């Protein structure tokens, strides 16, 4: 059974302010929680689950020394942020990743310039994971990584990608000798431009790449639209998906596929 204080504490973590204050966050759902339990970097501080979950995962919980509390579905509803809570909720300690400079040489890297929508941030991390991009650098104004919507949208990719917060200015010394790609409306056609390993900058949903970052872009690229159709833009996450796909294609299957 969960105490009133515990309920209060978990509910407090529904807000960003408290997540930052306590350095904790919430993860929900059987699949995602189980992935966090098995992950070596994240520490599960507390776990609340209905009896079904506990019976099915007792061995893992004991083996990983997870402190857990059995709760009712009603209690889960009280602490959950989901409209349809899914058996288990875990409170997890936030970690701070630091820049892995060696990854900048071996893998394409994303720099997210003020991606503000939590769903977009999460889904971009999921795209990065799919295409083997090992590091995603978020500008300080990006949406919060530990927002429940972001976490849900990553579908576990947060556990496989090194995600760090860094100003472009601070990153610059490490990338100044690499191609820095930025998608703009009138750049080189990504399908015919020969793409290389480097840094890809994804701009804000409404305003694109900020001025302070734009001056560092060495390669301006564009996803060409069909002619004369009147469409003006793609959603930031979709544009990111297309760009990462084309990098993946050229780097793994050859420019002339």
Residues that bind a second copy (CB under 8 A): 119, 123, 126-127, 129-133, 153, 155-157, 160, 189, 191-192, 223-227, 229-235, 237-239, 241-242, 245-246, 248-249, 252-253, 255-257
* Backbone phi, psi, residue 100, to 5°: -100, 100
Q: How far is the CB of 158 from a second copy (least distance, A)?
A: 11
Cα 159 off chain centre by: 9
CA distance 172 to 212: 12
The answer to whether 221 and 181 have CB atoms below 8 angstroms apart is yes
Q: Which is nearer to a second copy, 71 or 221 (CB)?
A: 221
Which residues, 6+ apart, have CB-to-CB distance to 230 below 8 Å?
none
Return the ∠ at Cα 138 (arms to 224 and 45), rounded to 5°.
135
In the complex, minimum distance from the CB of residue 219 to a second copy, in angstroms, rounded to a whole number: 17
Nearest distance from C-beta of residue 153 to a second copy, angstroms: 8
97 or 223: CB nearest a second copy: 223
Radius of gyration of the chain (CA): 20
Smallest distance, Å, CB 21 to a second copy? Answer: 26
Alpha-carbon gap, residue 114 to 67, rounded angstroms: 37
Shortest distance, position 154 Cβ to a second copy, whole Å:
10
Distance separating alpha carbons of residues 48 and 176, to the nearest angstrom:
47
**DSSP state, 141?**
T
Q: Between residues 7 and 159, which has the closer beta carbon with respect to a second copy?
A: 159
Nearest residue (CB) to a second copy, 94 versus 222: 222
If the CB atoms of residues 113 and 117 are measured against a second copy, the closer one turns out to be: 117
């Amino acid at each position: 059974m969960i105490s009133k204080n515990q309920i209060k504490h978990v509910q407090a973590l529904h807000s960003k302010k408290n997540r930052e204050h306590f350095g904790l966050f919430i993860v929900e759902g059987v699949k995602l929680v189980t992935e966090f339990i098995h992950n070596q970097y994240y520490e599960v501080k507390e776990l609340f689950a209905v009896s079904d979950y506990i019976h099915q995962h007792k061995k893992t919980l004991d083996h990983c020394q997870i402190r857990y509390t059995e709760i009712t579905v009603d209690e889960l509803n009280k602490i959950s942020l989901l409209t349809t809570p899914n058996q288990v909720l875990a409170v997890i300690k936030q970690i701070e990743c630091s820049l892995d400079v060696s990854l900048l040489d071996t893998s394409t890297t994303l720099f997210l310039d003020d991606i503000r929508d939590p769903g977009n941030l999460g889904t971009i991390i999921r795209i990065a994971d799919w295409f083997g991009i090992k590091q995603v650098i978020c500008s300080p104004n990006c949406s919060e990584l530990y927002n429940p919507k972001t976490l849900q949208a990553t579908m576990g990719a947060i556990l496989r990608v090194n995600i760090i917060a860094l100003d472009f200015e601070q990153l610059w010394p490490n990338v100044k000798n690499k191609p820095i790609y930025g998608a703009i409306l009138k750049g080189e056609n990504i399908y015919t431009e020969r793409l290389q390993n480097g840094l890809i900058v994804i701009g804000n949903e409404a305003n694109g790449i900020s001025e302070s970052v734009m001056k560092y872009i060495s390669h301006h690229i564009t996803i060409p639209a069909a002619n004369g159709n009147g469409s003006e833009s793609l959603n930031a996450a979709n544009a990111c998906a297309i760009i990462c796909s084309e990098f993946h294609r050229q780097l793994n299957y050859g420019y002339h596929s």
